[in-house]
Structure 1
Amino acid sequence: MKIRIRGNSIRYRLTKSEVISFCKTGSFAEKTEFSSTLFSYEIQTKKGITNLETDYDNNKIIIFVPQSYIKDWATNTIVGFNNNFLTKEGKEIFILVEKDFVCMDETVEDQSDNYPNPNA
């Protein structure tokens, strides 16, 4: 799972196997181990919500997804989900969760588990 943060926006991109795992278990997590601390980011389903939500606590970003979103996400053609989430403090955070496609340009990263690019 890749994460991209820019200002008040967060984007997760999941490979095929990550989407399958997330849909089966209701959660998926990654971590980066720095010298002084561990940073992690996670996606998980949450009951009682109708749009994406997010929170940051204890060096972890969590994106919460309504359970209904992942019913057949691993097998359907829906690329992803997004929402402008309003925090308790009234700040807006744009959230985007999507399937990761094979890049069209030259890249050195392993893309063998990515979804075929529809523009290919």
Structure 2
Amino acid sequence: MKIRISANSIRVRLSKSEVEKLSTKGLLEDKTSFGTTYFSYAVERKAGIKALSANYRENKITLSVPETLVTGWPENTVVGFDAHQAVSETETLYLLLEKDFKCLDNTLEDQSDNFENPKKVC
């Protein structure tokens, strides 16, 4: 799971196995250690909600995804989902959850579990 935070936006990319796990098990979690403390993040499948939502509690960001969106996601061609969540009267938080594609350029990162890039030339 890759997470990118910039100002009021959170972008999460998931590998093939992570999309499958979210669809079947309903929860993905990871953390980054800072020695005496850590920052953690999770994506959870949730029934009864209509749009992506996020919360931040006890050093953990949790992105909740409607169960209806995750059903069938590993097999279909839907790249991802997004939403704007109101956080105050004047601010919103942009949320984006998407499949992680293989890079088209050279990279040293292991991409064996990423989705095939739809822009790949065959």
TM over 0.5: yes
Moved over 3 A (4+): none
Instruction: Verify: 1:107 aligned to 2:92, yes or no.
Output: no
Tell me the CA shift for residue 41 of structure 1: 0.6
Select between 12-21 and 42-51 the one with higher mean Cα deviation: 42-51
| Structure 2 match to 1:39 | 39
**C-alpha displacement at 1:36, in angstroms?**
2.1
C-alpha distance in structure 2 between counterparts of 1:81 and 1:25, whole Å: 19
What do you get for the CA RMSD once the two structures are aligned? 0.9
Structure 2: gaps (5+ residues): none
The separation in 1 between residues aligned to 2:56 and 2:40, in whole angstroms, is 10
List runs of 5+ in structure 1 lacking aligned partners: none
For 1:67, the equivalent position in structure 2 comes to 67
Q: How many residues align?
A: 119
Q: 1:43-73 deviations in whole A, cap 9, x for unaligned?
A: 0022221000001110100101111011100
User: For 1:108 and 1:85, how far apart are their aligned partners in 2?
Assistant: 35
TM-score normalised per structure 2: 0.94
- In the alignment, structure 1 residue 57 sits paired with structure 2 residue 62: no
Counterpart in the other structure of 1:26: 26
Percent of aligned pairs sharing the same letter? 46
The correspondence of residues 4-23 of structure 1 with structure 2, limited to 5 A, is 4-23=4-23
8 Å contact kept, 2:44–2:65:
yes
**C-alpha distance in 1, partners of 2:28/2:9?**
20
8 Å contact kept, 2:9–2:93: yes
Normalising by structure 1, we get a TM-score of 0.95
Aligned partner of 2:78 in structure 1 is: 78
Is this contact kept in 1: 2:23–2:45, CA < 8 A?
Answer: no
